[in-house]
Homo-oligomer: A and B are copies of this chain.
Amino acid sequence: MAIRALVWGENVHEQENAIVREIYPDGMHACIAGALAEDGGITAATATLQEPEHGLSEARLAQADVLLWWGHAAHGDVADEIVTRVQARVWQGMGLIVLHSGHFSKIFRRLMGTPCSLTWREAGERERLWVINPAHPIVEGIGPMIELPNAEMYGEPFAVPEPMETVFVSWYEGGEVFRSGLTWQRGGGRIFYFQPGHEVYPIYHNTQVRQVLRNAVKWAHNPQKWADPDAAPNRPIDAALEPLVEKGPRLHADGEEGLR
């Protein structure tokens, strides 16, 4: 069965900036979805900030195995309630791929628990993304590195928790480096951050970048789910696995809910 990807696009620059619109006439999200759909094993839908519930209703999320997130100008306009909903889905096992300026999105900051800050420069400089582990599924077919002729520089320190795996590290013409491909696990959800994607360069038309996106969707797809990661069930004494006699005082009465 095909992996169901959902590409979320903020869809602001495409409306407001002629350069971006020319590169992505149907929106960045549509271009990204097109890259995914080149793989017969992936179906790709899109959702945008401007749709009701930002296109991220419970019903739509229930159909998403992996969510991709591109945002920049309107992070603050994403409703907290929707962010909470997406976070809950990630905990249950939905994959999440955070792209470029999505490092400052509410959902990424919430899942990381850190500022997710970095340094930056918009000079159209050359970037090379070096592969750190040639056997990682995300770099299948990529070779030793990806060279982008024009990119926005993102520099260290990148204020994220130590990753599970470092997949790419970038070199920039102006002299900086950046951990440009990192993975984490949160509950059942696999998370991949990928640096490329500045809106004024045609980066999502790059064949290697498109390959990484497809690889990442496959990697992030976890068919095994965690039904209720937020539950904190009481295990009653009389149902204990070992014979157990109550000892000492108690705070809680029988059958009481735990405190939160």
**Which residues of A are at the interface with B, using a C-beta cutoff of 8 A?**
13, 17, 19-20, 72-73, 75-76, 87, 91-93, 101, 104, 110-115, 117-125, 128, 130-137, 139-140, 147, 149-150, 153, 155-159, 161-162, 164-166, 169-177, 179, 184-189, 198-201, 222-227, 229-237, 240-242, 244-252, 258-260
> Are A119 and B235 touching (Cβ within 8 A)?
yes
> Are B234 and A119 touching (Cβ within 8 A)?
yes
> Are A125 and B260 touching (Cβ within 8 A)?
no
Residue from B112, B119, B130, B222 within 8 A of A155 (CB atoms): B130
Instruction: State the CA gap A115–B133 with chains docked (Å).
Output: 13
Q: Inside 8 A of A174's CB, which chain B residues have their CB?
A: 235, 237, 240-242, 244
Q: Whole-angstrom distance from the CB of A120 to the nearest CB of chain B?
A: 6
Q: Which one of A87, A162, A226 has the highest number of Cβ atoms from chain B below 10 Å of its Cβ?
A: A162
Residue from B134, B169, B187, B246 within 8 A of A114 (CB atoms): B187
Q: Whole-angstrom distance from the CB of A252 to the nearest CB of chain B?
A: 5
Chain A interface helix/strand/loop/mixed: loop
Residue of B nearest to A105 (CB): B260
Q: Inside 8 A of A117's CB, which chain B residues have their CB?
A: 229-232
Q: Whole-angstrom distance from the CB of A173 to the nearest CB of chain B?
A: 6
> Are B124 and A249 touching (Cβ within 8 A)?
yes
> Are A177 and B134 touching (Cβ within 8 A)?
no
